[in-house]
Amino acid sequence: VSRRGGVVKEPLSRDRIVAVALASLEQDGLAGMSLRKIAQALETGPASLYAYVENLEELQALVLDKALAEVKTKPSREQDVRARLTAVLGSHLSVLLSKPGLAQLAMTTIAVGPNGLRIVEALLGILEDAGVDAATAAWAVDLLTLYTTAIAAEQSHRQAQEHADGADTLAPVARAIAAVSADTHPRIVAARDHLVSGTGQGRGAWAIEVLLSGILHTPRVPEPATAPASTRSKRLKPRPDGRG
Amino acid sequence: VSRRGGVVKEPLSRDRIVAVALASLEQDGLAGMSLRKIAQALETGPASLYAYVENLEELQALVLDKALAEVKTKPSREQDVRARLTAVLGSHLSVLLSKPGLAQLAMTTIAVGPNGLRIVEALLGILEDAGVDAATAAWAVDLLTLYTTAIAAEQSHRQAQEHADGADTLAPVARAIAAVSADTHPRIVAARDHLVSGTGQGRGAWAIEVLLSGILHTPRVPEPATAPASTRSKRLKPRPDGRG
DNA sequence: ACCTGAACACCGTTCAAGT
DNA sequence: ACCTGAACACCGTTCAAGT
């Protein structure tokens, strides 16, 4: 409200837009979050948002990073390496699972905002403490976060279906598996119950164990000859004398 | 062409629609594949497709499964377990990488068509040969395919960016990492080159090694008490005498 | 610089009407 | 049953015009 008494609209800002977008994501899921709806919630037209945000993709990246602010990356120093990794990854997983749509968003958007970087930095530090070399640690962080995201997305996909269809409808996965013939797919039929069992948290915890065991038991990453040319050229500049 | 000489349109069919949709996915990526464009390519209106396909989601599932037909699931029996797993997963990965858009589609669509089931059946069989128990094998297959898909999606995302922006523009990931300060994120700066190195095939191969090591070194999955109620109620019917 | 209405070029899906 | 034109209810983005 202005000093003259008229109702004054709070000015737009990147922060307000991102906050409203996150709320929209929480309520309507990824597909339900649109620039037009966000603009409407802010009582303006969709074109106004382009003064603060390049496009929808950038807005989505900002929303993801805001949500990742809740991930805890400072586990108590007393725990052993494994427990600390599990703590950070578990926090990541539970944040992604906490809001429907967030996991889907994380799947299609690469998290390179401040909070994404904070998580990567923390994981690299713990792996370093575990004695993993830098190259392996880098790939391992990618593997760990990718999988945490993927399992959250799969789980939230399932929840979304259940929510839409009602409680007693089986998810399409379960339905397909139930319809499989033992003649053609004996092992699927035998493992039927296991294939659809478990919660996101449960499967995530098990997967983290598997990944950690694997990383600690696997040979180092292959030599850096696989680096893309664009990266390598920055590092290995040709020597001026041509003997590079 | 009909017997009277007039040009007769080949009748629509599910197969034709799926084939055109796959071609459209290959050419324009996931975002560029639309029911309207597919209808146009088939010289009809978008409404016509609904006689053969429930909705876009079902069509996408059919397209994914058709593409997965190329995945080879019968590695030579002479190879050891590890080599056989690598062969199947490598084939899966390279098929997903072969067509831009396919990996993205696989990320948002759960593959439960005939080819998806064929792949799961094959992986379960190999893990069984490796001595992995049924419950662990089931979760492991999920982990393996999820990760193969995720790494393909990440890679194809990167390729799409490169294609759109031109060769010398760094991908947003690389740009963000290049801009990071050593004061706040020392480990990211130290691991900088490793974080962006490697090809989809290279990282995929390494990841498969990690996952296999992990699966073979990790304890069995927790007891089936974590199964969702809907599944359990089918298996454990209450006894008629009420003593169940 | 910030904000806007209106337009542009798209979407998936439904439905009444045709054959 | 299959096919269709037209409409409905949406999208993201651009642009000229305002302040």
pLDDT at A9: 57
**Two tokens at A61?**
């990246």
What is the least distance, in Å, from the CA of A181 to any CA of chain B? Answer: 11
Mean pLDDT of chain A: 82
CB A133 within 8 A of CB A220: yes
Q: Looking at residues B60-73, what average pLDDT do you find?
A: 97
The pTM of this model reads 0.83
pLDDT at A163: 55
Interface contact flag, B207 A128, Cβ < 8 Å: no
CA distances from residue A134 to A123, A141, B55, B153 in whole angstroms, order as listed: 12, 11, 47, 24
Residue of A127 and B222 predicted with greater confidence: A127
Tens digit of pLDDT for each residue in B3-44?
443 344 577 899 999 999 999 999 999 999 999 999 999 999
Among A9, A187, A239, residue whose Cα is nearest residue B135: A187
CB contact, 8 Å: A194 with chain B?
yes
Q: Which of the four pLDDT bands, split at 50, 70 and 90, describes residue A3?
A: very low
Residue of B173 and A107 predicted with greater confidence: A107
Q: Which of the four pLDDT bands, split at 50, 70 and 90, describes residue A162?
A: low
Tens digit of pLDDT for each residue in A105-137?
998 888 889 999 999 999 999 999 999 998 899
- Region class of A164: left (phi > 0), else alpha (psi between -120 and 50), else beta: alpha
pLDDT at B73: 97
Q: How far is the CA of B39 from the C1' of C16 (A)?
A: 20
Q: Which of the four pLDDT bands, split at 50, 70 and 90, describes residue B48?
A: very high
pLDDT at B216: 83
CB contact, 8 Å: B52 with chain A?
no
Q: How far is the CA of A48 from the C1' of D17 (A)?
A: 14
Dist. CA A162–CA A172, nearest whole Å: 10
Q: Which of the four pLDDT bands, split at 50, 70 and 90, describes residue A48?
A: very high
Residue at shortest CA–C1' distance from C10: B36
Q: Looking at residues A136-142, what average pLDDT do you find?
A: 91
CB B228 within 8 A of CB A155: no
What string of DSSP letters covers A161-188?
A: HHHHH-SSSPPHHHHHHHT--TTT-HHH
Residue B169 pLDDT exceeds 80: no
CB contact, 8 Å: A162 with chain B?
no
Q: Give, as ranges, the nucleotides of chain D with any atom within 7 Å of a protein CB.
A: 2-7, 10-16
Tens digit of pLDDT for each residue in A184-213?
999 999 999 898 877 778 888 888 888 888
Residue B158 pLDDT exceeds 50: yes
